[in-house]
Amino acid sequence: MIEKVLLVALVVLAIVVTQSNNLLRSLILLEVFSLLIALAYLLYQAPDVALAEVAIGLGLSTVLYLVGIKRIRVFHICYVFDETQAVRDAHIAEVEPTVVRPLELFLEKRENVEPHMAYSNKSLKDVIENDQPDLIVYQGAEKLYFIGNQDDQVYQDVLSSSGDIVDGSFQVEGISIEKVKNDDILQSY
């Protein structure tokens, strides 16, 4: 009975690890998977293999993955919708193929960073002060605004390639975070 539960848990955990969008969460789940595999080896009377799994699977591979994850820079993006509307799946589905996914692919391939996307309907100032993303994508009436730190090289690369990233349905304008913090620059748009 315990063997069946353990094997089902291993299959479910393997699927969850491969479907996770967060690298750190995947690593933690992978280590739990390794621990369950070691337990399965113990149940099948293979303590030497279980010990090797714990030493290599939990110990060495964790260190190697953590070093690899540390080398990858996570780039936080917040897509800000108009403050008056609630963020719904329909809104996300509308911008996903034209803005979000091309931006994520650009960052993954050309900039070698791990993009993490969040959606919000808070005010820009609230997002800047509380969430502190690396890039804010704000959709105005006719324009798409990329708001970021002017000193950030990834932000500069996104701005210079914005025509390739976003299809022709939006005109893109770059604005520094400092400018948005200091004035109500987007209130007129």
Do residue 50 and residue 130 come from a single domain?
no
Query: Which of 68, 97, 122 is the last residue in one of the domains?
Result: 68
Q: Given its phi and psi angles, is residue 16 left (phi above 0), alpha (psi -120 to 50 degrees) or beta?
A: alpha
Do residue 147 and residue 85 come from a single domain?
yes
Do residue 18 and residue 99 come from a single domain?
no
Q: Where are the alpha helices (DSSP H) in the chain?
A: 2-19, 23-43, 47-53, 61-71, 89-95, 101-110, 124-126, 153-160, 162-165, 177-182
Do residue 122 and residue 81 come from a single domain?
yes
Range of 83-87, 90-94, 132-136, 140-144 with top mean pLDDT: 132-136
> What average pLDDT does this structure show over 82-96?
73
Choose among 111, 131, 110: nearest CA to 121. 131
Q: What is the pLDDT of residue 82?
A: 66
Do residue 45 and residue 98 come from a single domain?
no
Strands, sheet with 143-148, edge to edge from the N-terminal-most edge strand = 113-120, 73-80, 135-139, 143-148, 171-176
Residue 129 has pLDDT above 90, yes or no: no
**Domain residues for 160?**
74-188
Distance of CA 138 to the CA centre of its chain: 18
Do residue 177 and residue 108 come from a single domain?
yes
Distance of CA 66 to the CA centre of its chain: 17
Do residue 118 and residue 47 come from a single domain?
no
Please tell me the distance from the alpha carbon of residue 184 to that of residue 133, in angstroms, as a whole number.
Answer: 19
Do residue 59 and residue 114 come from a single domain?
no
Is the CB of residue 178 less than 8 Å from the CB of residue 136? no
> What average pLDDT does this structure show over 156-181?
83
Q: What is the pLDDT of residue 42?
A: 93
Do residue 44 and residue 115 come from a single domain?
no
Residue 14 has pLDDT above 80, yes or no: yes
Please tell me the distance from the alpha carbon of residue 155 to that of residue 129, in angstroms, as a whole number.
Answer: 18
Do residue 173 and residue 104 come from a single domain?
yes
Q: How many domains does the chain have?
A: 2
Q: What is the pLDDT of residue 185?
A: 55
Do residue 156 and residue 86 come from a single domain?
yes
Whole-Å CA distances, 7 to 18, 19, 101: 17, 19, 36
Please tell me the distance from the alpha carbon of residue 78 to that of residue 180, in angstroms, as a whole number.
Answer: 15
Q: What is the pLDDT of residue 188?
A: 45
Q: What is the pLDDT of residue 70?
A: 77
| DSSP annotation of 41 | H
Residue 99 has pLDDT above 60, yes or no: yes
Query: Which of 32, 51, 68 is the last residue in one of the domains?
Result: 68
Query: Which of 42, 68, 94 is the last residue in one of the domains?
Result: 68
Residue 189 has pLDDT above 50, yes or no: no
Q: What is the pLDDT of residue 135?
A: 92
Record the tokens describing residue 106, joined without a space: 């650009």
Do residue 93 and residue 183 come from a single domain?
yes
Regarding predicted confidence, which is higher, 30 or 91? 30
